[in-house]
Chain A
């Protein structure tokens, strides 16, 4: 696949996830303007309709807001962004824990394994 899109999920969803990660990382700040539909389309070589759909979905999630004639902006609502950040964290941790439990690791082993791994990485 081209430009890091996987083959199984709708492209507008993958685009939405890319924007959300940029926001959660702080690459896109609160109140900052998102690229125009055309710019983002050209950057990822996707159809403007697809970008439009991703932006509409982000707006529905209240992560961005569209100001008529001005463009699309990251919401000023910090609480909403924090909530999004927490939500993503929980989702990732959930899948991780599920995988570990499936392989028979208990809570203590998981935590021990995690801190050991993280310590290794930081040294």
Chain B
């Protein structure tokens, strides 16, 4: 069964098409990258999967269910923006999420905090941007959600933070039960993490391809492939 299915989906913002009659399916148990230039529609596609945006036309199912706001019970969404209560400490933020989501694994959160070297008693408002990025990853990956969506998890972070986020992802993701879909610009850095890529431009899905196939068939890296696909 496919994890995500779009059927003839269109989305307009004030008359401008962000997604134009898009149909595709994505399998479960993989790490999938949505890649494309700014304004291509990849974040829109991700937010539709998360149930945060409604489509104008078409049908979207996630884990076999039509998406709506309640799909957040099954889907963990990492926003590009910060969505913390700044007066909470790190521990209080963890506890808050634990109360909000029935699938939140507090033990996993504690071990991820240690892995990310975050201090539980630090106030969120005093955290550096990098540590806020790390905390977001902890909160998202600590849920036993079937689908994990990440909107630009690495953007604007320094190389050290990016590395710890990538390592955290590899160490704590459970691909036997979970699927990850992320939008990203840092394609060369994230390539070894991806099983599959979806190339999006101007509201259209140009191609869906396994990363190993790209290398096996064309003998080129993902970045080179992108240059070909997006010309």
A residues near B (Cβ < 8 Å) are: 1-3, 5, 7-12, 38, 41-42, 44-50, 53
Say yes or no: B212 contacts A47, CB within 8 Å: no
B69 CB-CB contact with A under 8 Å:
no
Decide yes or no: A38 and B215 within 8 Å by CB, A7-B224, A47-B193, A47-B194 being known contacts: no
B31 CB-CB contact with A under 8 Å:
yes
Residues of chain B lying within 8 A (CB to CB) of residue A47:
31, 170, 175, 192-195
Residues of chain A lying within 8 A (CB to CB) of residue B82:
none
Proximity string of chain B (188-199) to chain A, C-beta cutoff 8 Å, 1 when within and 0 when not: 110111110000
Say yes or no: A8 contacts B170, CB within 8 Å: no
Say yes or no: B170 contacts A41, CB within 8 Å: yes
4 shortest A-B CB distances, which residue pairs? A7-B221, A46-B192, A10-B212, A41-B170
CA distance A12 to B210 in the complex (A): 13
B167 CB-CB contact with A under 8 Å:
yes
What total of A-B pairs shows CB separation below 8 Å?
A: 65
CA distance A44 to B166 in the complex (A): 10
B residues near A (Cβ < 8 Å) are: 29-31, 163, 166-167, 170-171, 173, 175, 188-189, 191-195, 211-212, 215-216, 219-221, 223-224
Residues of chain B lying within 8 A (CB to CB) of residue A42:
167, 170-171
Tell me, rounded to whole Å, the shortest Cβ–Cβ distance linking A19 to chain B: 15
Decide yes or no: A49 and B31 within 8 Å by CB, A7-B224, A42-B167, A42-B170 being known contacts: yes
Scoring B30, B171, B195, B212 by chain A CB atoms within 10 A of each residue's CB, the highest score goes to: B212
Say yes or no: A8 contacts B193, CB within 8 Å: no
CA distance A11 to B212 in the complex (A): 7
